[in-house]
Amino acid sequence: MDFLIMNGAGNRFAVFDARSRPGFVLSDDQVRALCEPGSAAMGPLGADQLIVLRAPASAGADVFMEIRNQKGFEVDACGNATRCAAWLVMEETGRDAAVVQTNDAHLPCTRTGPFSVAVDMGEPKLDWAQIPLKEPMHTHHIDVKLGPIDAPALSNPGAVSMGNPHVVFFVEDFDTVKPHLAGPMVEFHPLFPEQTNVGFARIDAPDAMRLKVWERGVGMTQACGTGACAAVVAAHRQKRAGRSVAVQVDGGTLHIDWRASDGHVIMSGPVELEGRGTL
């Protein structure tokens, strides 16, 4: 079966269109083999997620998006993949809007340029049980530390769910923190029963941030759309940044606006169709 190779700000996907093939199913082993860096189908970069487009499961949506991560298991949200799926639908239909359904929500999307899409990610989930955390606590700051108790290298992160769990640390520089080493330790922290994505954000201005994300089940990625949304929400809640922030990730820039009017988070950014592959 043929598939598309796409990316959103460097966040890379293998996209299968199974809207006319409801019986199309991939095993966890097949997903892992396809997404693994160096695979014959995806090349040296591999894929951060495998996306299967299916017929919408309910009224009001144009397409249902199934999301599988590098380890093969299904997750409920991926903001950059949502923008890619919406772009494909808009290219097919000639419209400038589309609604993508995931396990978590219906996500309205609009075209903002020839290869740029904005998605309404809805309201962030901020209660400890929604994220989820293992025990009740306020989520502006949560009690997770790395390093010596009296002088931790990382502490007081914010916790947010954007359809998947995120914890966001605020850092001065990335060389000292080493996200590729800290990320896996926090991902499996016992406070997170479903594991967690781990963000490391450097605030450069009230409307500018540099972000690196360790994605659960994947590792370090060029971009994480829900991670960028979570970082802006967490930063604003800790009075570190405003509601509208340009988030620079390794693969490009995502523009995040946490609207005061309705509490919805809007993410805008680039979409790229790299090519095609065959499974």
**Could you tell me the mean pLDDT of each successive run of 10 residues in the chain, 279 residues long?**
95 97 94 94 94 95 96 92 98 98 95 97 97 97 89 93 97 92 95 97 98 95 96 98 98 97 98 94
Rounding to the nearest 10 degrees, give the CA dihedral for residues 220, 226, 231, 233: -170
What is the end-to-end Cα distance of the chain in Å, rounded?
5
Neighbours of 134 (CB within 10 A): 13
pTM listed for this prediction: 0.94
Q: Which residue among the candidates 78, 84, 109, 229 is catalytic per the annotation?
A: 78
Domain spans in the chain, listed from the N-terminal domain onward? 2-119+271-275, 158-269
Q: Is 84 a catalytic residue?
A: no
Rounded-to-integer distance, Cα 185 and Cα 59, Å: 41
Q: Which of 35, 84, 224, 229 is catalytic?
A: 224
Domain 2-119+271-275 architecture = Roll (3.10)
Do the domains at 2-119+271-275 and 158-269 have one common CATH topology?
yes
78: annotated active-site residue: yes
In this structure, the number of other CB atoms found within 10 A of the CB of residue 96 comes to 11
In one-letter notation, the amino acid at residue 128 is W
How many beta carbons lie within 10 A of that of residue 123, not counting itself? 15
Q: Quick one: CATH architecture of 158-269?
A: Roll (3.10)
Q: Rounded distance, CA 74 to CA 101, Å?
A: 14
d(CA 168, CA 49) in angstroms, rounded, equals 21
- What's the pLDDT score for residue 113? 96
User: Prior bond to 56 cis, omega within 30?
Assistant: no
Query: How high is the pLDDT of residue 97?
Result: 98
